[in-house]
Every structure is written in C-alpha cells, then in structure tokens.
Amino acid sequence: MSAFRQGPLALVAESWRRLLGESLLAVAAAAALVAAGLALAAARSAADVGWARLWIRELAPLVAALVAAARLGPALAGELGALRVGEQIDALVTLGGDPRRQLVAPRVLAALAALPALAALAAAVGLAVGAAFAGAPAARAALEGLARGDVLAGLARASLSGVALAAIGCASGLAVRGGAREVGRAAARAGGASLLAVLALQLLLGLGAPA
C-alpha cells in the first residue's frame, strides 16, 4: 500500500514536479522549432500576420499540450493500471478509500497546474526564437499587438488541456482488467486518445473564440 501513503497535497506536488521535469526540454525544443518556422513565414509575408499574438493565444498552449499528451496520458494510464493489476486499488476500496479522490484528483490538479507552466515556457522560448528569426522590426511590430487577454487565453487553454489529459490517462488506467499486457495496451490507448483530445479541444476553443 506504499502508493497510498502520501497525502493529497504531497501527491499533487510530486506529480507536478515529475510532469514538469519530464517535459521541460521537449516543450522548449518543440516551441523553438515551431516558433522559428512561424516567424520566418511572417517575416517573408508582405502583411503583418500577428505571429506573436497567434503564438501566445493558441500555438504555445498547443505545443505544450501535444508534448504533454505524449507523456502524461500513457504515464498515468500505466501507473494506475499497474495499481489495478496489482489489486492495490481493490484493497484501497476494501479499506473504505475512494480511488477518485485519493488517486485521480491529485493527478488532475497537478496537470491543471503544470500545463500553464509548460505553456508559459513554450511562449517565452517561442517569442525569443521567433524574434531572432523574424528580425527586430518585425518582432517589435508583432509584440506591440499583444494584450493581457492573449496571455490569459493561452493559460486557460493550457489548463483545460491539462485537465483533459489527466482525466483520460486516469480513466484508462482505472479501466484496466487482466494482466500486465493490458496495462501496456491501456497506455497506448491513452496516448492516442490524449492527442485527439488536445486537437479537438483546440478546435472547439477556436470555434468559440472571438474573431
């Protein structure tokens, strides 16, 4: 029962640190590559495409969420699936515990806090790299169009993505039945479902966003 000895806040903190530690470099690298391409396209365009605003509001949260989706969903599915196969979750229920409150909720809260941090990292790296590739005049013009609402919108997108990814991973893990092979299958399903969820969420948020 060692998996259940931590308090909820300790589990949230541990999950948050682990998610950030496993994703920081990947998010930074992906953000740099995507932002460089976006800035180059903007610099070569005759019109001001507002690449910085687009990056902050939509693309930085998307990059962070896609990187996290490849790691978070499968990791949570594998973690909780292993507990299910090892009958530790059944033992927790027998002792009167609630898996959703003690196992799922802390991980969802950790993802809710971690994804905005990853999106902020992606935004900062992307702006720096984009400014270097676009050139000083184009970068200055793009940055002048930014508003606080753009930053808040990006963080909100990232938070929603974090909740969705954690929910999918935890649900996949808790649904595992059978042996260790099923844990691997659950992790693979969670990875695919997480990627689709991120893209679908971005589409829905884009449809509901003001022009």
Q: How far apart are CA 73 and CA 50, in angstroms?
A: 33
pTM: 0.81
The better pLDDT of the pair 38, 199 is held by 199
Phi-psi region of 164 (alpha: psi -120 to 50; beta: other; left: phi over 0): alpha
Q: How far apart are CA 97 and CA 101, in angstroms?
A: 8
Report phi then psi at 147, rounded to 5: -135, 165
pLDDT tens digits for 7-60? 667 777 777 777 777 777 888 888 888 887 777 766 655 445 577 888 888 889
Q: Is the pLDDT of residue 4 over 60?
A: no
Residues 55-77 pLDDT 10s: 888 889 999 999 999 888 899 99
Domain count, the chain: 1
Q: What tokens does 33 get?
A: 């590559």
Q: Tell me: the pLDDT tens digits for 98-156?
A: 888 888 999 999 999 999 999 999 999 988 887 787 666 666 776 777 788 889 999 99
CB 127 within 8 A of CB 52: yes
* Domain interval for residue 32: 2-208
Q: Which pLDDT score is estimated for 47?
A: 47
Which one-letter amino acid corresponds to residue 187?
A: A
Q: HEC string of 48-66?
A: CCCHHHHHHHHHHHHHHHH
Please report, as a single letter, which amino acid is at residue 136: A
Q: Which residues contact 211 (CB under 8 A, 6 or more apart)?
A: none
Dist CA 199 CA 206 (whole Å): 10
Q: Residue 156's pLDDT is what?
A: 93
